[in-house]
Structure formats: structure tokens, C-alpha cells
Structure 1
Amino acid sequence: MASLRAYWRFAVVAWQFLPLVWSYARDRRRFLLVGGRRSVSSERRTRRAERLLSSLLTLGPTFIKLGQLLSTRPDVLPPEYVEELSELQDQVPPAEWEAAREVLEAEVGPVGEAFDEFDTEAISGASLGQVYTARLDGERVAVKVRRPGIEPLVNADLRVVSWALPLLLFFVDDARAFSLENLAEEFDKTLREEMDYSREATMLGEIRANFADDDGVAIPDVYDSRSGERVLTMEYVEGTKISDVESLDRLGVDRHAVAETLERAYLQMIIEDGVFHADPHPGNLAVREDGTIVFYDFGMSGRVDESVQDRIVDFYVAVANQDIEAILDTLVAMGTLSPEADRATMAEVMELAIADARGESVDQYRVQQIVSKVEDTIYEFPLRLPSNLALVLRVATVVEGVCLTLDPDFDFVTVATDYLGERGYYERGAREFITETGDRLSESARASLRLAPKLERALDRVDRDDFYVRAAVEDSGGYVDALARRLVTGLLFGAGVVSTGLLYAEAATRLAAVAAGGTLVVGLLCWRSFRRRRGPSSANAPATGRDRR
């Protein structure tokens, strides 16, 4: 039965997405199998993004979540799609109370016995769960209940995604194939984790403990005795929605201070604690009258291992110092930037990004030049997102948006720079640099001592005419072979032309015709070797003057 449902969902999903896949295939090859790429305007991309949004809403809860995830992946979708999908809200009408009651009572027992009072009207509904209010031991609590019957639908949809992935990979380049595979893996893992409320309770408790001494952050406590895999009972903490700036102003809240507290909280979670709330959209953040930030919904949360934390610190330090080369080196070390990327173009992109983040004026003509460079190689673009960084990027982009909503002049980079300085990360970086430099000097000294006798032996061999040099040329792209074929076919073609002319002059018509035929074939092969289109491996080709400054 589950398989039949998955097959049916696959047909429904394919029908919804077929027009978009067809359009994308024609963008790559104008006539699907032959022809060059066709130009796609920003307006057309926007229309397609609107169609995609409509399809995701039609397909239901799982694909709404997929759309939210796609809205944080600029390595997968063009900017128009990211912007359109960023408006996608995970809000659907709650399920009927009787169906939700069965789930609730299966986890915590009869409602009348488990709670003092229970309001059967849900205060919010989402694709995977819904929230009610109740009273427990005289305290008001929020009770999150998993949506009834959601498991079979999610399982079927995840199977559909796994079946569809190989088909999608057929239409995309290697860079996007890397990102799509990571996205599918991340989506499966994130969705299953978000449905497990016992995991959410664990993550919530851990993050709450990390902020126990911070008066600027409030995180609800969990009632373990009334919680389970499908039910989560938490302390009810009231607050004003963080994006409701008019209400915050009426309360006299310092919005800049709130934005700074929010960024610092996330820097602490990601850089120091290694466990973080990964869904900071305005619906999950509230502000009390005293400026305290309240965090809700820890279903989407993640962990950062120590090596990634170190790389993130290196990245922020490089941004603070506006050291473009260090930024690119850090992105390569993270696995986010291909080592073979055009560093000159990427350096220009990073310079503009830093200027924009700092609110500095940017020359629009220069922006257009860089965008043109990027668009020339968009299908081999070197940026990608490893799965362990995808949630971190989501947090960074969404938090920055929330901070700018609170304060349009908010400087995200300056706050991060001050935070790292207060925590001593710059001093740590200086100590590591000194230590690393000392190690390199020591190695250089030892190498110098070993070099003298080796150099003396080499010079002795030169004196005895017993010195040979062996060299190997690395040609993973086959460029030397291609050059050799062109030289050989060119020489044969030239020889054929001369031979045909001599035979014709000697009145050997038949032999001249045979020679002409062979020469024509060789000439076509030579011409084709120069006309052959560059494939995906061309990203590894030696740079030409047009690509470099």
C-alpha cells in the first residue's frame, strides 16, 4: 500500500514539475538534443519561480518544507527563485481536534488526566504539527502535537524525491549536481528530525542550558512528563513578534539592541556552543517588553563540529580584515569554493559582497561587469554548499534579514567583528600564526642543513656528465593529446593537398581523385578538432586572457 501511494505521488509530482523541467532542459539545449543555450530573462525566471511556488503549495506539507529549504540555497536556484520562495510560510489550517486528540492521548494519556485545562482550539498550525495551550500544575503551557497521518505522506514524498533526483541530475552540471545531492540528503535528514519531538526536546534543553546566565535570551522549559516522540509540552512564554516593529516602538524597545543581541546569540550558538536553533524566521522569534528575545520551535536545529567552527571563525576574521585572499582560502578549505575557481573574478565578487554588507555605496557599472563574468560561466559556477554548512548558511541569511528589519542601518559585519575581538579570537589567530610561522622556520632550517650535501652530490654528477632530468606533463583535460592530433591532421592535410596537386599535374586523374578524397576527410577531421565544443571539463582548462585580469 505504501509503495502504491509513493507511485501515485510520483505521478502527481512529475505532472506538477514537468513544465519547469521542460523549460530548463530547453534553456540548456534549445531543441532539447541539439542547439545552443537560450537566453533567459529575469522576468521569465520570476514567472517560473511563481509557478514553482504554486506547485509546492499544491503538493502539500513535505514540498512546502522543500521550498523553504530551497529558499536558502543560492547554489541550486537563481536569485529570482530564492527571492520568491523566501516568502513561503509554513502555515496551514490545523487538523480536526478529534484526530489530534488521538495522537496526544497515545503519547501522554487522557487529556483530562494529563492536564488541568486544555484549549482545543489550536493557536497555530504548520505542515508537520500544531500548537495548543493548556494549564499544568497551575502554569500555562504550550502543547505541540504532530499532525495526524503525516508520517505516511512524508515517507511517500521522500521516496518520490529520491526517485526524482537521478532524473534531475541528468539535466544539470557537475557543480549543481553536487549541491542537489547534498540538498536531498539534508532534506531527508532535516524532515525526519523535525518530526521527532523527543529530539527537539533534547536540543531545546541543551541550548537553554547554554543561555542559562544570559538575561537577554529566553528559551521555554520542557515538561518531560507530558512529552514524547509526537508531543512536546513547553513553558508558555509570551512576547511580541520580532518583525512587528510598530508594536516594539510603542513598547519603547531599543530595536538596534535587540538586533545585536540576536546576532550575538547566534554567533555564540554556532562558534562556541556547537548547537544552534536553525529556523530563525520572525514567526519563531519574539521580544519581551524589556528587550529579551524569546526563541520558539526548535524542530529545525543543528550541530557544528569543531573543525567547521574554526573555519567559520577564520572566515569572519578574514572578512573583518577585508583580506580577500584569506576569505577565498577559507572558502576552499570549507569545501564551499572549488580550488579551480577563477580567483580574480571571485575576489571581485567578495569585495562587492563585503561592501554591500557594510552598507557602502557600490558602483553599479562594476556590479554589471562582474555579473556578466559570472553569467558567462553560470553552469560551471564554483560555489557549492556541503551539507554540514547548509543550515549554517540558512541561519546567517535569515538572521541578517531579521536584523535589517529591526534596524535598516544594522552592520552585521561590525557586530561579528566586535564579538570575535571580545572573545579573543584575534589573539588566538595571532598566536596560531606565530606558532605556525615558527614551525615553518624550523622546518626551513632543517631543510637547509639537508640541502648542502644533496646539492654537492648533484654538482658532482654534472661534472661527470651523469646528470639527467626526467619530467612528466600532467594533462588531465587531454589538451596535449588534442594539440598533437591537430598537428598530425594538419600535417597530413598539407601533405595531401601537395600530393593531390602533383598527381593532377602529372595527369594521374584517378589517383588525384583518391588523394583528394583522403585529403578532404583529413581536412574535415582537422577542422572538427578546432570547432569541437568545450564540455564540462573545460572548467579545468588553462585560463585565457579573456578570463583573467
Structure 2
Amino acid sequence: MNLRAYRRFPVVVYQFLPILLAYARDRNRFLLFGRARQVDEATRRRRARKLLDSLLTLGPTFIKLGQILSTRPDILPPEYIEEFEQLQDRVPPADWADVRPVVEGELGPVSEAFESFDTDPISGASLGQVYTATVPDPVPGSPDGRREVAVKVRRPGIESLVEADLRIIKFSLPVLMRFVDQARSFSMQTLADEFSKTIREEMDYEREREMLEEIRGEFSDEPGVRIPAVDGGRSTGRVLTMEYVPGTKISDVDELDDRGFDRTGLAETLQRAYLKMLVSDGTFHADPHPGNLAVQDDGRLVFYDFGMSGRVDAFVQDKIVDFYVAVADQNIDAILDVLIELGTLSPEADREVMANVMELAIADARGEDIEQYRVQQIVEQVEDTIYEFPLRLPPNLALVLRVATVVEGVCVTLDPEFDFIDVATDYLREEGYVEASIREFLTDRADEVNDAARSALRTPPKLEDTLDRINRGDLEVEATVADEESVFDQLAVRLVLGLLLTGTVLAAAILYAFATPISAVAPAAGAALLLGLLYRSFREQSGISATPQFTRQEMRKRQEEP
């Protein structure tokens, strides 16, 4: 594996080095020095397409990385997100001659494990591919005493390739972080940790089987959802055999209309299913792109491929409920408080700016018409406000965000006017979460009243003691000034540079007036250097300017309209 990583490293460097050099020149025009360059949208989009080609060239691991990056607006600009959203597993299927040893190594001879086996895959991906087969079915009434199954087989040799690529990514991460700011380096570190964990879990079919069976059990009483059953006797860590459930791809809206399906109803079923997984069950299917969702002839929603799945802890579940309740009430302060508690929003963020962004995002999520001038006004406000990039993704929320963004895209495809907030509010109310949140709110307010009453009784004696100390003149006050952005250090540097500049200019003037002009050259050159350093100190900005990112696809269309 180490040798393979060493051999692949030059290939990876060759693919990524040009774009890294371009980013370096954006910061310093001549790499080591020079002013920063402004990059327009067309340049970013051209770079995004070039990077997309590099990911496809490098193969399965980097294709998966690109798919995850397409859901991380905290790392990539919108042009990259849009390009990477088109990224699919465009990897040619492995030859059956190479796949057969994997199947027989796990299950024995194919002819004994299955009655028939179609060697042409019905689905191919970067980590595995799916075949159809038939097995004996003891259930009375089954056609010919057989039933059709889907057999998912791990791609031959993929384990060593993935491990070599993960080692390269781990070695390269410290270098990549030199090209980004501190906040994005935080997000990149969480992405690397998440990606390494996710791709290993996706190759473990034993884990996928456990998650599939657990989620299937949670939906056993849901009439609108169908999850395939697992054939445990023909499933191992590298082969997963499931019930074959055909259906119409959920993004094929024309076919859905021809069959008379209610697309709005399907979108609501999908949204409610994920709310149930995230809020109620704590176990969720984490890859809801259109290729993994279908509609049966009877109208039931079918979920495929549980390789990417995850769990939500109780704290995050509670905060998701608080978030939806706050959104339903359009309580912007409560929304920001929840985001801060989850760790996705920096406590130092400009609340006024973020409040405006949230108001716009809520209006967009409801499908409301938004005046173009309002969008532009808020975008300019964010661009003109210098602050540390406030949005970040802790590891425990990365998959949750992926689910939220992808589900939203699917629902909007089904119904462009779909109202996520109404559906979420109705679900939380039906499940009793809204009433529980109200009771918790009232309990908290009652506790605050009790605390205030006790404080009112304790305050007068303490106030009298403080006044006595002031009267005696022995009261001392200490103050600590927080300076996380080193503002005082910057002011001190500028003050010293200013004093030195004044001294050198004065020295140059005196020497020029009372001595020879040549003797004034040295202090004049020093003054010029100090002037340049002083100018540069005023040009440097702490933090970065950012534009708000929205997940709803219609937002981009509105912004591009004249």
C-alpha cells in the first residue's frame, strides 16, 4: 500500500499542481510577493471544470471526494458547487472475469449460490457494482418458485487503491491548508476526517447490511415507503444480496406524470421520511440523490444503496427540532442561537448581517418571490463586511447537511413550489415536538423568574457592601480587553512605523538641506521602505469577505435573471 501511494503521489501532484499555483498567484501575483489578484466568476468556473476533469482522471476515491465537496459550500465557491453537482460515478464497470473471484471468494461457486446470474451490471459505481440474479423462493405463489435479487459486489482491488489515496490526501492536507484561510482550513480538516471515515464505511457491506435492516425496521409501519429486504445467507463484507425492487427514477418527472403520480405528495413523503430518520429514529440514509430513489408502480417511495448512512445523537436531534420551530416562527435570533450551539456559526459573526441572510434564506425556502434589489442589497452587505468566515461544519453535522441539501434538490425537482417549512412544522406538531418545545420554553422562563427573584433578595446586601468600600476608597477595578484579532498589535506596529517614517523623512530633509544630496539618499530609501510597509499594513485585512450560500436551486436562477 505504501509503494502504491508513493507511485500515485506524482500523478496526483501533476493533476493538482497547476490549480494550486493559480491559487498561490491569487494571493501574491509573483508567488512570493506582489499584490493579490481579483478572480472573476468566469475564471472560477473555468478552474472548477479543470478540477472536475482532474477528479475524474484520478478515479474512484477522488470522484467520491468531489461528490462530498459538492455539498460543502463552507469550503468551495458556488461555481465549484454547481460544477461538482454534475459529478457522477463515471467509472467503466469492471470485467466479470475480475468480479467473479470476489463473489466466489465470499459465497462459493456462483452456480451454487444463485439459480441464475446476469453478468451484465445494472448499476456501476466507483466502489462497487450491482447485478441481478435469481434465487429459490420457498414462499408459495412466487413465479416459478424463484425470486429476483440485486447483488452488490465490491469492486476488485478497490481497497488498496482507496487506502493509498487516503494516505496521499492525509500527507497533502497540511500543504493545501497553506492556500486557504483559517476558517476554511477548519472545514477542510473536518472534511478529510469525514471522508476517510465515510469511504471506509461505504466499502464495508456488513455495516451497510446492519444499517439497512435497522432503517427498514423503523419504516415497517410506513405505507408510503419501501426499503428492500436483505438476503442474509448471501451477504458478507464484500457482497450484499438484497430484494430486487424495480421502480421509476424519482427525477424522471415526465415518466412520473405519465403514470399519474402526485409529485407534490412524493416530495412530502420524502421530506417526512428524512425528518423521521433525523429527528425521531436517529439513523438515516445519507445518499438520497435521484439514482438512489425510485417510485414503485403502487406509488411507494423506494430507497436504494445504504452504503452512506449515519447516526444522529440526541443533542443534534433536539437542536434540529429547535431549528425548525424557530424557522416556523421566523424567530431569527433563535435560529442564530441554534446554529451557534451546534457549532456551525461562529459566535463572533455579525448577527445583523447573518439575520438578513437568514431572512432571505427562509423566504427562498418558502418559495416566496424575492425582489432582485433585496438579494443584491444583502449580497453587497455581506461582501462589504469584513469578519471571520462564520459558517463551519463540525464532523457530526457534515452528513446531515449533505442529506438536507440533496433532499431539498430532489423535492424542488418534483415540485418547484414545495414548502419545506410547512411540511416540517406539520410533522413536528403531529409527533408532539412543537408542544414539547413550548413546554420546555415555559419551564426555562419559570426558572429564569425564580433565579431573578432570588437574585433580587441577594443584591441589596452586596450593593450596600460595595458602596461602603467605595466610601472608604479601597475599591479596585480590573478590566481585561479581548483582542483576538490583534488590533492593538496592529496599531502598535503602525505607530512605530509612523514614528520611524517621520524620523527618516526629517533626517533626509536635514541632510539634503545642510549637507550633500547624496548623503540624503540612504534615509530617503529607508523612508520609502517604511512608507511601503505602512501602506501594506493598512491594506491587510483580518478575516475574509464572503457571500451567503443558499441551497435552493431557484435562488441561483433568480440572481441570474435581469
TM-score norm. by structure 2 comes to: 0.88
Change (3 A) 1:379 1:326: closer
On the 8 A contact 1:496/1:515 being kept in 2, the answer is no
Matched, 1:407 2:421: no
Matches for 1:429-508 after TM superposition, within 5 Å: 429-483=437-491
For 1:86, the equivalent position in structure 2 comes to 85
On the 8 A contact 2:293/2:302 being kept in 1, the answer is yes
Deviations 1:388-429 (A, max 9, x none): 111111111111111111112211222112212222222111
For 1:101, the equivalent position in structure 2 comes to 100
Deviation, 1:525, is 5.7
For 2:141, the equivalent position in structure 1 comes to none
How far apart, CA to CA, are the structure 1 residues paired with 2:384 and 2:541? Answer: 14
Change (3 A) 1:143 1:524: closer
Change (3 A) 1:486 1:514: farther
Change (3 A) 1:215 1:498: closer
On the 8 A contact 2:56/2:90 being kept in 1, the answer is no
Deviation, 1:219, is 0.3
Q: 1:151 aligns with which of 159, 163, 166?
A: 159
For 2:35, the equivalent position in structure 1 comes to 36
Percent identity between the two aligned chains: 63
Deviation, 1:349, is 1.4
Change (3 A) 1:493 1:225: closer
For 2:261, the equivalent position in structure 1 comes to 253
On the 8 A contact 1:253/1:289 being kept in 2, the answer is no
Deviations 1:97-151 (A, max 9, x none): 1221110111111112212222222111111111111112222111111111111
How far apart, CA to CA, are the structure 1 residues paired with 2:93 and 2:500? Answer: 77
Change (3 A) 1:92 1:382: same
On the 8 A contact 2:389/2:544 being kept in 1, the answer is no
How far apart, CA to CA, are the structure 1 residues paired with 2:253 and 2:158? Answer: 35
Deviations 1:459-493 (A, max 9, x none): 22233333333333333433335445656776788
Matches for 1:110-189 after TM superposition, within 5 Å: 110-137=109-136, 138-189=146-197
How far apart, CA to CA, are the structure 1 residues paired with 2:50 and 2:501? Answer: 55
How far apart, CA to CA, are the structure 2 residues paired with 1:491 and 1:534? Answer: 19
Instruction: Write the letter of the residue equivalent to 1:479.
Output: V
Change (3 A) 1:104 1:447: same
For 2:251, the equivalent position in structure 1 comes to 243
Q: 2:207 aligns with which of 199, 202, 207?
A: 199
Matched, 1:263 2:271: yes
Which stretch shifts more, 355-364 or 526-535?
526-535
Instruction: Write the letter of the residue equivalent to 2:133.
Output: A
How far apart, CA to CA, are the structure 1 residues paired with 2:74 and 2:387? Answer: 11
Q: 2:221 aligns with which of 213, 216, 225?
A: 213
Instruction: Write the letter of the residue equivalent to 2:432.
Output: G
For 2:537, the equivalent position in structure 1 comes to 532
Matched, 1:49 2:31: no
On the 8 A contact 2:288/2:407 being kept in 1, the answer is yes
Instruction: Write the letter of the residue equivalent to 1:407.
Output: D
Matched, 1:366 2:365: no
How far apart, CA to CA, are the structure 1 residues paired with 2:313 and 2:175? Answer: 33
Change (3 A) 1:82 1:482: closer
Deviation, 1:180, is 0.7
How far apart, CA to CA, are the structure 1 residues paired with 2:92 and 2:478? Answer: 73
Deviation, 1:233, is 0.5
Which ranges of structure 2 fall in alignment gaps of 5 or more residues? 137-145, 546-562
Deviations 1:239-278 (A, max 9, x none): 1111111221222111111110000000100111111001
How far apart, CA to CA, are the structure 1 residues paired with 2:387 and 2:173? Answer: 18
Change (3 A) 1:29 1:156: same
- Say what the alpha-carbon RMSD is for the aligned residues: 2.9
Change (3 A) 1:497 1:42: closer
**What secondary structure, in the 3-state scheme, does the structure 2 residue paired with 1:257 have?**
helix
Which stretch shifts more, 367-376 or 91-100?
367-376
Q: 1:351 aligns with which of 355, 359, 362?
A: 359
For 2:558, the equivalent position in structure 1 comes to none
Matched, 1:301 2:300: no
Deviation, 1:496, is 9.6
Change (3 A) 1:534 1:451: farther
On the 8 A contact 1:158/1:188 being kept in 2, the answer is yes
Deviation, 1:217, is 0.4
Change (3 A) 1:156 1:522: same
How far apart, CA to CA, are the structure 2 residues paired with 1:300 and 1:110? Answer: 29
Q: 2:426 aligns with which of 418, 429, 442?
A: 418
How far apart, CA to CA, are the structure 2 residues paired with 1:14 and 1:498? Answer: 53
Deviation, 1:289, is 2.2
How far apart, CA to CA, are the structure 1 residues paired with 2:73 and 2:226? Answer: 32
Deviation, 1:43, is 1.5
Deviation, 1:335, is 1.0
How far apart, CA to CA, are the structure 2 residues paired with 1:491 and 1:368? Answer: 43
Change (3 A) 1:490 1:258: closer
For 1:70, the equivalent position in structure 2 comes to 69
Aligned residues: 535
How far apart, CA to CA, are the structure 2 residues paired with 1:236 and 1:373? Answer: 52
**What secondary structure, in the 3-state scheme, does the structure 2 residue paired with 1:463 have?**
helix
How far apart, CA to CA, are the structure 2 residues paired with 1:193 and 1:263? Answer: 25
On the 8 A contact 2:505/2:523 being kept in 1, the answer is no
Change (3 A) 1:261 1:538: closer
How far apart, CA to CA, are the structure 2 residues paired with 1:23 and 1:185? Answer: 26
Change (3 A) 1:500 1:457: farther
On the 8 A contact 1:500/1:516 being kept in 2, the answer is yes
**What secondary structure, in the 3-state scheme, does the structure 1 residue paired with 2:450 have?**
helix
Deviations 1:206-227 (A, max 9, x none): 0000000001000011111110
**What secondary structure, in the 3-state scheme, does the structure 2 residue paired with 1:131 have?**
strand
**What secondary structure, in the 3-state scheme, does the structure 2 residue paired with 1:140 have?**
strand
For 1:428, the equivalent position in structure 2 comes to 436
On the 8 A contact 1:97/1:120 being kept in 2, the answer is yes
Which stretch shifts more, 255-264 or 322-331?
322-331
Change (3 A) 1:489 1:80: closer
**What secondary structure, in the 3-state scheme, does the structure 2 residue paired with 1:233 have?**
strand
Deviations 1:338-389 (A, max 9, x none): 1111222211211111111111121222322332343456894221111111
For 1:543, the equivalent position in structure 2 comes to none
Deviations 1:185-217 (A, max 9, x none): 111111100000000000000000000000100
Change (3 A) 1:464 1:358: same
Deviation, 1:297, is 0.4
